[in-house]
Chain A
Amino acid sequence: MSASAEQTDQTTLSIASRRRSFAHLAPLLRLRWGWLVVLVLAGIANAGAGLVGPWAIGRLVDVLPAGAGSDVVIECAIAVAIAGVVMALGTWIGAWALAHIAMPIVGDLRTQVVESALSLQSQRVESTGTGDLVSRVADDSRKISEAAAQVLPLIVESLLIVIVSAIGLSAIDWRLGLVGLVAVPMYWLTLRWYLPRSEPIYKEERAAFGRRAGRLLGGLTGARTLRAYRAEAGELDRIDAASGQARDLSIGVFSFLTRAFSRNNRAEAVVLSLLLIAGFVLVFSGQTTAGAVTTAALVFHRLFNPIGALVGLFDQIQSAGASLTRMVGVIDEASTSPRRSGEICINRPALMLENLWFTYDEDPGSSNHVLKGVSLRLEPGEVVAVVGTTGAGKSTLARIAAGLSVPSCGWAGLDSGTAASAGEVELTALPESVLRSHISMVAQEVHTFNGTLRENVALPVPDATDEQIAAALTKVGAGWVGELPTGLDTEVGDGGIRLSAVADQSIALARLVLADPDFAILDEASAEAGSAGAHVLEASARAAVAGRGALVVAHRLSQAETADRVLVMAHGRIVEEGTHEELVAAGGRYAQLWSAWSA
């Protein structure tokens, strides 16, 4: 909350090295080595069969002028036809094998990243911001998926054709093969010229696209405000400028790319001329035939497209590689964060918070503490409300109580109170599933996921029955469910029908009922619902926490009025504590707040 304004300089998630990223792929590839063998064999057969056409033409060039009959022509035609069958099978099987290798690997990678992102520690995510994570988990994995579907097959095919053709060229005549090798340094020089220049300009272009998208989003979502303030013109100017800048950069990038293609053309012209000159010399000295030279020239001509494709796609290969390193970075980071494990059973525990200190600064000795020694014991079934101004530390206290943040100093844990079971356990020592069976939190952010209402409520208990879900919704008084066209099957979230703020919030409360924890942590749960909605939601929240302990961050003092105990916080400390009546009677800070509130 108060600290979020200071957190603009966020540390970012780590990025894996290229080597590490490919090493991450190795075990996934090893799992599919059979398909890999099929892929390579099919690719070689395909590329090899492609050489038959030029070979047949060269043969005819040699034998027909020498007086050969139509039988040779038929022979060559049959060879070309058979090669066609081989190519067809090779292409088909190769594509099939590649899909069987690439698609599951990309799928695994995608899922791993999401899984890793979910298992990152909350505090880590808070310090990096969710933006980076969203871009890695959503955008990068989409880029990788698209590259695997569209770019990878072209690259694999082109690479194999280039390699096999180079071998074929040498097989026709090793000296012509040698001349063909001149192409290698020429293309290499093109890449050497192209790559270091392309990376920064592509990066700049992508950044400009990002700015343009941001401006468009800001302008279009803020249209109502812009209209109200007659400020459309200023924002439109900014959008136009961002779009114009992106356009100019794109034109520049493309013009650069065409220069790279020109270099390719130059290499083609030089190597083709050299092949013809060398062929001339070899034919002159009687060491090879005109047919062989024809074949060599046609084989090389066949390489124009695959090589062009490889150079043209290099940028996409690089950008897919960058996405991969960012994804593996998340996976690595999640695997190094400490894992909690073990089976712990605690019965009807109390929630203990002892002498909590907390700072958002890296340095634990910092003087800038949000919490300064807060202690609190929540008995089973007890509802405690926390009251205070913005920045008093309420939300931080709630997050620590929910086990989402780790105190810089102090102790937060569960106390079973009976010697027979585990006794005292720190929250951070509990496995996620055990922790959430005891404590669940409805936080400030409300998010309704894309999907059906049923899926949305079932979040804490994925295999909940319809009856359980309906019961949870009924308990929080979600009467609006009855008005939905298809009940629990109604699509909600971004792609579905728009729910009111009250409905979104009551889904969150229904999740809490379904999760059925010992303690509920509620943080400003009714802030955005407006006046009438707030009353409805307060009743829903009371129903949802009935029978459990609860720590309620009270934005509205009526939430404090009904609590068993009220804590008043200021500047990271508890300054008053007692029941609503006691505090009102005491005439302190709370009494002051209450009189302002109930005026």
Chain B
Amino acid sequence: MSKTPSSGSILLRRAARRRLGLLLPGIITMSLWQVCEALVPVAIGIVVDVAIIPLSVPALIVSIVGIGLLFTVLSLGYRFGARFCNSAREHEAHALRVEITHAALTSANLPPDRASGEVLSIASADADTAAQSFAQAGRGIASVLGMITAAVFLLIADPVTGLVVLIAVPIGLIIVALPGRSVSAKANAQLEAVARAGRSASDLMHGLRVIKAMGGEPWAVGRYRHTSDEAANAGIATGERTGRLAGLGALVMSLVLAIVLIVAGLRLIDGQLSVGALIGILGMTAFLTEPMRALAEIVGLFAQSHGAAQRISQLLTDIDGAGAAPTTAPAATIDIDDEKISVRGWAAGEGRTVDFTTQFGSLTAIVVEQAETETALITALAGHARSTGLGQMLVSPHTVDLFEGTIRSNITMILGAGDAPVAPEVLTASGVDELLGLVDTGLDHRIQELGGNLSGGQRQRVALARALHADPQVLVLHEPTTAVDAVTEARIADRVQDLRSSRGNAATIILTSSPAFLAAADSVVFVPDTGPVLSGKHAELLAAAGASAEAYRNAVTR
């Protein structure tokens, strides 16, 4: 676990190494099963030969006992072999999932081009597909052993016929396998078309309210019908191709059987072959196609597993790299001492830098016109916060993420069990008290996955309560109340200011353009697109003269 696998093959090799304890017994028992399957037609031939044709009762009894034994080994072999391989697969898939999520959540930073949706798909689907290789390894190796058993039997039973079978069957399979690639490409295209239709349906349903509010039903049905028809047409084409390939397979194997039938029949007439061997050889010929076909299929599936393993190792390497590589020059230098937090050298575009200080016990509001400048400050603050403890500094993100649990667990961020109390001042300051009035169970009201059962304003209030509850020495908030109505927002702003200043040694920085917070702030820093940076009280800035002050009035007037 200590070293990140740098390629898909290395990841798969590591997987095999760490699951060897399950994999090895799995492969051995699976092979036992496959060998027994190969012996069933041989057994039928022997029974007919030694018991039924000579009409020998003792031989019949021995035969039946033999069949019973054969099937017992066969059945147990599959049962435990498949279980071992499956357990290896499940354990590895779980281990990969855990590894991916741990890396994604604890690394310093995800590479920016990795959306959470992609990580999600790698952690769920790709982890499964990569681990699938164990099931394939078990089946594949068992198939090879089954074929070797069959070959040995054939050569012992009759070298001439055996050789014919061993040459004719692979040739037949190659003939069938040649067009197989184009069919599997078609089948993949069809699956992709079905998945597209699914995505389209899901997209339309997520936008259902928008469609209904605008009368977009005919548009939506038209769009979906188009995707669905494409999927149906792809399905028909694939079905026909797959059928043609299967038909070709049936034809080729029948021809092989006919050839072997002639050779074996003639050998029997010559007295070179027993009846039992004839049955065994012909039954085996039909049997041989099974493991061979399985093997061909497994090669294709293994390519998929390898692709998935490749994506996983790529993601892990990316995360590793992002963590190790020194980030580009920080956009601001941040210092916290006993009485203040100071930000120096905040790059505010056009070679301009901004310095500001927030004393403990006071609240600074920052108004920024340019989004990139704002992002630069937040990134710098968040970067600094990570190197401190939660009690010292917290940068609460603007995007509200809620987690399955209760309102309480979302505020305390004790996500498992736990009954930590939440101070009533936090609830009133964040406006969560009003929300609690609407639900029967108060703080223990259930929050669904992603907080789907709360409105935007309610979510923001829970997130604000979370930040206030954490009660860090330095709290940074970013547009905390964009979805809260004006009246409530004004009340929240005043109470947040009261709550934070009641804690004498705490500093609060709020990036916002909301007049409510600006009015409540002890000082305001305004960074316009161009021109000088302003700082002072909200009322002073509103009354000031000059281009920057004009820009400020524009930015904060609602």
Contacts of B119 in A (CB 8 A): 220
Q: State whether the Cβ of B31 lies closer than 8 Å to any Cβ in chain A.
A: no
Q: State whether the Cβ of B200 lies closer than 8 Å to any Cβ in chain A.
A: yes
Assess whether B450 is in contact with A80, with CB atoms less than 8 Å apart.
no
Q: State whether the Cβ of B144 lies closer than 8 Å to any Cβ in chain A.
A: no
Number of interface residues of A (CB under 8 A): 184
Q: State whether the Cβ of B396 lies closer than 8 Å to any Cβ in chain A.
A: yes
Contacts of B45 in A (CB 8 A): 294
Which B residue's beta carbon lies closest to that of A132?
B205
Q: State whether the Cβ of B242 lies closer than 8 Å to any Cβ in chain A.
A: yes
Assess whether B265 is in contact with A268, with CB atoms less than 8 Å apart.
no
Q: State whether the Cβ of A580 lies closer than 8 Å to any Cβ in chain B.
A: no
Contacts of A243 in B (CB 8 A): 94, 97-98
Assess whether B210 is in contact with A145, with CB atoms less than 8 Å apart.
no
Assess whether B516 is in contact with A449, with CB atoms less than 8 Å apart.
no
Assess whether B228 is in contact with A130, with CB atoms less than 8 Å apart.
no
Q: State whether the Cβ of B345 lies closer than 8 Å to any Cβ in chain A.
A: no
Which B residue's beta carbon lies closest to that of A149?
B235
Contacts of B239 in A (CB 8 A): 95-96, 98-100, 102-103, 149, 153
Chain A nearest Cβ from B304, distance in angstroms: 15
Chain A nearest Cβ from B519, distance in angstroms: 5
Assess whether A60 is in contact with B261, with CB atoms less than 8 Å apart.
yes
Question: For the complex, what is the distance from the CA of A98 to the CA of B110, rounded to whole Å?
Answer: 47
Q: State whether the Cβ of B198 lies closer than 8 Å to any Cβ in chain A.
A: yes
List residues of B (388-405) whose CB comes within 8 Å of A's CBs: 389-390, 394-397, 399-404
Which A residue's beta carbon lies closest to that of B283?
A298
Chain A 225-255 interface mask (CB, 8 Å, partner B; 1/0): 1111111101111111001101100110011
Stretch touching chain A among B59-67, B320-328, B352-360, B422-430: B59-67
Contacts of B82 in A (CB 8 A): 254, 258
Contacts of A61 in B (CB 8 A): 48, 275, 278-279
Q: A73-B261, A111-B225, A218-B449 are in contact. Are A234 and B414 (CB under 8 A)?
A: yes
Known: A92-B243, A238-B416. 6 other contacts (CB 8 A): A110-B228, A234-B416, A255-B83, A437-B215, A445-B209, A460-B219
Which A residue's beta carbon lies closest to that of B226?
A111
Q: Among the listed B219, B266, B558, which residue makes an inter-chain contact with A557, where contact means beta carbons less than 8 Å apart?
A: B558
Q: State whether the Cβ of A34 lies closer than 8 Å to any Cβ in chain B.
A: no
Question: For the complex, what is the distance from the CA of A76 to the CA of B257, rounded to whole Å?
Answer: 10
Chain B 272-305 interface mask (CB, 8 Å, partner A; 1/0): 0001001100110010001000000000000000
Q: State whether the Cβ of A203 lies closer than 8 Å to any Cβ in chain B.
A: no
Question: For the complex, what is the distance from the CA of A99 to the CA of B63, rounded to whole Å?
Answer: 45
Q: State whether the Cβ of B258 lies closer than 8 Å to any Cβ in chain A.
A: yes
Q: State whether the Cβ of A277 lies closer than 8 Å to any Cβ in chain B.
A: yes
Assess whether B78 is in contact with A4, with CB atoms less than 8 Å apart.
no
Q: A107-B229, A222-B403 are in contact. Are A141 and B269 (CB under 8 A)?
A: no
Q: A2-B438, A122-B209, A247-B94 are in contact. Are A107 and B254 (CB under 8 A)?
A: no
Contacts of A495 in B (CB 8 A): 199
Q: Among the listed B102, B282, B395, which residue makes an inter-chain contact with A236, where contact means beta carbons less than 8 Å apart?
A: B102
Q: State whether the Cβ of A279 lies closer than 8 Å to any Cβ in chain B.
A: yes
| 23 sample A-B contacts, Cβ–Cβ < 8 Å, listed by A number | A4-B455, A53-B286, A60-B268, A73-B265, A90-B247, A98-B239, A98-B243, A114-B221, A118-B204, A149-B235, A153-B242, A218-B404, A218-B449, A221-B116, A235-B105, A254-B90, A444-B456, A512-B214, A528-B483, A531-B556, A534-B558, A593-B486, A599-B519
Q: State whether the Cβ of A65 lies closer than 8 Å to any Cβ in chain B.
A: yes
Assess whether B116 is in contact with A81, with CB atoms less than 8 Å apart.
no
Q: A220-B101, A280-B52 are in contact. Are A142 and B240 (CB under 8 A)?
A: no
Which A residue's beta carbon lies closest to that of B388?
A230
Contacts of B206 in A (CB 8 A): 130, 134, 447
Q: Among the listed B63, B194, B371, which residue makes an inter-chain contact with A146, where contact means beta carbons less than 8 Å apart?
A: B194
Question: For the complex, what is the distance from the CA of A528 to the CA of B460, rounded to whole Å?
Answer: 11
Q: A92-B247, A214-B449 are in contact. Are A142 and B195 (CB under 8 A)?
A: yes
Q: State whether the Cβ of B175 lies closer than 8 Å to any Cβ in chain A.
A: no
Chain B 201-212 interface mask (CB, 8 Å, partner A; 1/0): 111111111111
Q: A224-B399, A389-B485, A593-B487 are in contact. Are A56 and B87 (CB under 8 A)?
A: no
Chain B nearest Cβ from A274, distance in angstroms: 9
Q: Determine which residue in B64, B203, B211, B519 has the highest number of CB atoms from chain A within 10 A of its CB, and name it.
A: B203
Contacts of A74 in B (CB 8 A): 262
Q: State whether the Cβ of B168 lies closer than 8 Å to any Cβ in chain A.
A: no
Q: A527-B456, A555-B486 are in contact. Are A133 and B208 (CB under 8 A)?
A: yes
Q: Among the listed B78, B242, B265, B556, which residue makes an inter-chain contact with A60, where contact means beta carbons less than 8 Å apart?
A: B265
Q: Among the listed A88, A111, A223, A458, which residue makes an inter-chain contact with B219, where contact means beta carbons less than 8 Å apart?
A: A458
Chain A nearest Cβ from B397, distance in angstroms: 5
Q: A141-B198, A224-B399 are in contact. Are A131 and B243 (CB under 8 A)?
A: no
Contacts of B515 in A (CB 8 A): 597-599
Assess whether A449 is in contact with B207, with CB atoms less than 8 Å apart.
yes
Assess whether A432 is in contact with B217, with CB atoms less than 8 Å apart.
yes
Contacts of B229 in A (CB 8 A): 107
Chain A 66-78 interface mask (CB, 8 Å, partner B; 1/0): 0011101110111
Q: A114-B221, A153-B239, A293-B48 are in contact. Are A76 and B279 (CB under 8 A)?
A: no
Q: State whether the Cβ of B177 lies closer than 8 Å to any Cβ in chain A.
A: no
Assess whether A449 is in contact with B203, with CB atoms less than 8 Å apart.
yes
Q: State whether the Cβ of B503 lies closer than 8 Å to any Cβ in chain A.
A: no
Stretch touching chain A among B8-16, B68-76, B150-158: B68-76
Q: Among the listed B202, B213, B401, which residue makes an inter-chain contact with A138, where contact means beta carbons less than 8 Å apart?
A: B202
Question: For the complex, what is the distance from the CA of A593 to the CA of B485, rounded to whole Å?
Answer: 11
Q: Among the listed A141, A284, A455, which residue makes an inter-chain contact with B201, where contact means beta carbons less than 8 Å apart?
A: A141
Chain A 188-225 interface mask (CB, 8 Å, partner B; 1/0): 00000000000000000000000011111111111111
The 10 closest A-B pairs by CB, nearest first: A95-B243, A84-B254, A99-B239, A436-B215, A531-B513, A222-B401, A73-B265, A447-B207, A107-B232, A269-B71
Q: State whether the Cβ of B86 lies closer than 8 Å to any Cβ in chain A.
A: yes
Q: State whether the Cβ of B18 lies closer than 8 Å to any Cβ in chain A.
A: no
List residues of B (103-158) whose CB comes within 8 Å of A's CBs: 104-106, 110, 116-117, 119-120, 123-124
Question: For the complex, what is the distance from the CA of A462 to the CA of B466, rounded to whole Å?
Answer: 45
Assess whether B262 is in contact with A73, with CB atoms less than 8 Å apart.
yes
Chain B 497-538 interface mask (CB, 8 Å, partner A; 1/0): 000000000000000111110010000000000000000000
List residues of A (268-286) whose CB comes within 8 Å of B's CBs: 268-269, 272-273, 276-277, 279-280, 283-284
Q: State whether the Cβ of A20 lies closer than 8 Å to any Cβ in chain B.
A: no
Assess whether A134 is in contact with B261, with CB atoms less than 8 Å apart.
no
Assess whether A221 is in contact with B401, with CB atoms less than 8 Å apart.
yes
Q: Among the listed B55, B105, B282, which residue makes an inter-chain contact with A280, where contact means beta carbons less than 8 Å apart?
A: B55
Which B residue's beta carbon lies closest to that of A248?
B90
Question: For the complex, what is the distance from the CA of A459 to the CA of B217, rounded to whole Å?
Answer: 8
Assess whether B213 is in contact with A440, with CB atoms less than 8 Å apart.
yes
Which A residue's beta carbon lies closest to that of B54?
A290
Q: State whether the Cβ of A261 lies closer than 8 Å to any Cβ in chain B.
A: yes
Q: Among the listed B221, B268, B466, B482, which residue makes an inter-chain contact with A229, where contact means beta carbons less than 8 Å apart?
A: B466
Q: State whether the Cβ of A115 lies closer than 8 Å to any Cβ in chain B.
A: yes
List residues of A (335-360) whose CB comes within 8 Å of B's CBs: none
Q: State whether the Cβ of B2 lies closer than 8 Å to any Cβ in chain A.
A: no
Contacts of A60 in B (CB 8 A): 261, 265, 268, 278
Q: State whether the Cβ of A119 lies closer than 8 Å to any Cβ in chain B.
A: yes
Q: A98-B239, A114-B204 are in contact. Are A223 and B110 (CB under 8 A)?
A: yes
Which B residue's beta carbon lies closest to that of A283?
B52
Chain B nearest Cβ from A150, distance in angstroms: 9
Q: State whether the Cβ of B248 lies closer than 8 Å to any Cβ in chain A.
A: yes
Chain B nearest Cβ from A275, distance in angstroms: 9
Q: A61-B279, A512-B214 are in contact. Are A88 and B235 (CB under 8 A)?
A: no
Q: State whether the Cβ of A451 lies closer than 8 Å to any Cβ in chain B.
A: yes
Chain A nearest Cβ from B379, distance in angstroms: 11
Chain B nearest Cβ from A468, distance in angstroms: 14
Contacts of B187 in A (CB 8 A): 149
Which B residue's beta carbon lies closest to that of A103?
B235
Q: State whether the Cβ of A511 lies closer than 8 Å to any Cβ in chain B.
A: yes
Assess whether B246 is in contact with A92, with CB atoms less than 8 Å apart.
yes
Assess whether B232 is in contact with A104, with CB atoms less than 8 Å apart.
yes
